[in-house]
Amino acid sequence: MTTAARRIRLILMLRQAGVTDPRVLSAIELVPREAFVPDVFRDQAYENTALPIGHGQTISKPVVVGLMTQALEVGDRMKVLEVGAGSGYQTAVLARLCRRVYSIERHRPLLIEAEARLQALKLRNVTMMYGDGAEGWPAVAPFDRIIACAAAREVPAALADQLAEGGVLVLPVGTARDSQRLVRVRRTSDGFRTEELVKAHFVPLVDGAAVESGTLTAGLGSG
């Protein structure tokens, strides 16, 4: 099967799974997922499966990317914060839907690789930072939309506080993988409104520091 045929099959599968937003489907169709996975997994790039990308992280299933992006309700003039860049795949999808993406990644090697992929795709509306995504990016807040690609014990106050009024935060919440759920938080004029969407299975959001190649690094887990 050709790559084009695999992409079409993936889009049909996403529709069947509930991803119906035409802008989201178009963005996913335009992003070459094979460019964001290790060479050994390229033949599985358009399967509905999570794949390892190193450092204990994975690239999420396409259906998860589709459902999370759809839940975010991204407009083309919005400023979006992504917590956990990982391979850069979700970043690339977001970049085709909004004005600018700010993305944070705790693993420097993953960040370097993700930046190179996005540059190769000529996606120039992305700014990436190496650091602790649990704290958000206060210097460029507030954000119209925030998406976190790792599971938190509860909605991080720092991220919720960086939402603009009317803004939306989408992230998985829960400590055990079999009890996680995807939630959407809306900031209103008088506080926050939270709704549960679907069950989720993500790597945990890690506070504190991680040791990588002999270097002490602060941050959180990416998806």
Catalytic residue among 26, 60, 87, 179: 60
Q: Where does the pLDDT of residue 177 fall: very low under 50, low under 70, confident under 90, or very high at 90 and above?
A: low
pLDDT at 214 over 50: no
Task: Tell me the average pLDDT across 25-47.
Answer: 96
Average pLDDT, the chain: 88
With a CB cutoff of 8 Å and minimum separation 6, the contacts of 164 are: 142, 143, 144, 187
Q: Pull the structure tokens for residue 169.
A: 């935060």
Task: Tell me the average pLDDT across 188-198.
Answer: 91
pLDDT at 222 over 50: no
Query: Among this protein's residues, is 60 annotated catalytic?
Result: yes
Q: Which residue would you say has higher pLDDT here, 166 or 133? A: 166
Q: Where does the pLDDT of residue 62 fall: very low under 50, low under 70, confident under 90, or very high at 90 and above?
A: very high
pLDDT at 201 over 50: yes
Domain range summary for the chain, segments of one domain joined by +: 3-218
Would you state the CATH architecture of domain 3-218?
3-Layer(aba) Sandwich (3.40)
Is the torsion defined by CA of 217, 89, 128, 83 positive or negative? Answer: negative
Q: Pull the structure tokens for residue 213.
A: 């190649």
> With b meaning 16 or more CB within 10 Å and e meaning fewer, what string describes 164-175?
eeebbbbbbbbe
pLDDT at 36 over 90: yes
Q: Where does the pLDDT of residue 213 fall: very low under 50, low under 70, confident under 90, or very high at 90 and above?
A: very low
> With b meaning 16 or more CB within 10 Å and e meaning fewer, what string describes 191-201?
eeeeeeeeebb
pLDDT at 166 over 80: yes
Which has the minimum average pLDDT: 66-70, 74-78, 154-158, 217-221? 217-221
Tokens 């035409």 correspond to: 22
pLDDT value, residue 126: 98
pLDDT value, residue 178: 66
pLDDT value, residue 215: 33
